[in-house]
Amino acid sequence: MSIQENYNKIKKQLPENVELVAVSKTHPVSAIQEVYELGQRVFGENKVQELMEKFPLLPKDIQWHLIGHLQTNKVKYIAEFIDTIQSVDSEKLIIEINKESGKYDRKIKVLLQVKIAEEDSKFGLEINEAKELFQQYLSGEFPNVEITGLMGMATFTDDKNQVKSEFLTLKKVFDELNQLTTLETLSMGMSDDFPIAIECGANSVRVGSAIFGNRNYTI
């Protein structure tokens, strides 16, 4: 299927209140432009270097989301233009984002990435760490950052019940924090599991290969 067919198929499966982040990592600028022309404005990349190569070549009204692990020393390269950093996984990182964001007199939107998967390899805050960081935020510690929600990735498994229970765990944390101040975004679900994520309450999904095809990198 073509990118256009893929894109339309995914869009049809998403309820109106669910945001689509088109994950374009490893795919060329031409493919991103194609999806842009179909109306998509929110794109996700996981590497700062790659994002910086693509950013100048694409329309300025794209809302770029960083979705991969971010090293603190790289925040400065994206602070001026990044819309949302979905992968905040440490206090050190949010402190750095707050600092760099301040230099441009803006408030960068971030999601706290919470570890819900079984595998050790996944980055993310433990649930109690996320709650603590959120309390610090509420007490005014990071004035140049806006925490707009939570992001999580389920275990890579065929066991749908496990995936579901991990997503529901994050939904519960989301509901809890949402009582303290209104949160907009619960980002869960990728190409293989976004329908389950939506069932579990996701209102933002990050879909890559189901739109762009398998990953093979050339700019």
Ligand X SMILES: *Cc1c(COP(=O)(O)O)cnc(C)c1O
CA 64, 78, 112: angle at the middle one, nearest 5?
A: 65
How far apart are CB 46 and ligand X at their closest, in Å? Answer: 5
Residue choice 6, 46, 84, 101 for contact with ligand X (CB under 6 A): 46
Residue choice 157, 169, 178, 209 for contact with ligand X (CB under 6 A): 209
Which helix (H) or strand (E) covers residue 6, if one does? helix 3-13
Q: What is the DSSP letter of 125?
A: B
How far apart are CB 151 and ligand X at their closest, in Å? Answer: 8
Q: Which residues of 89-100 are buried (b: 16+ CB within 10 A; e: fewer)?
A: bbeebbbbbbbb
Question: Residue 210 corresponds to which tokens in the numbers above?
Answer: 């189901």
Residue choice 10, 20, 48, 67 for contact with ligand X (CB under 6 A): 67
How far apart are CB 28 and ligand X at their closest, in Å? Answer: 15
Q: What is the DSSP letter of 158?
A: S
How far apart are CB 178 and ligand X at their closest, in Å? Answer: 22
Contact between 208 and ligand X (CB under 6 A)?
yes
Residue choice 20, 22, 68, 85 for contact with ligand X (CB under 6 A): 68
Q: Which stretch binds ligand X (CB under 6 A): 2-10, 95-103, 173-181, 202-210?
A: 202-210
CA 98 to chain CA centroid, nearest Å = 18
Which helix (H) or strand (E) covers residue 126, if one does? none
Contact between 6 and ligand X (CB under 6 A)?
no
Question: Residue 187 corresponds to which tokens in the numbers above?
Answer: 């980002």
Contact between 130 and ligand X (CB under 6 A)?
no
- Are 206 and 44 contacting, i.e. CB atoms less than 8 angstroms apart? yes
Q: Which stretch binds ligand X (CB under 6 A): 1-9, 35-43, 96-104, 185-193?
A: 185-193
Question: Residue 78 corresponds to which tokens in the numbers above?
Answer: 């994206």
> Which positions lie near ligand X, rule CB under 6 A?
23, 25, 46, 67-68, 153, 190-192, 206-210
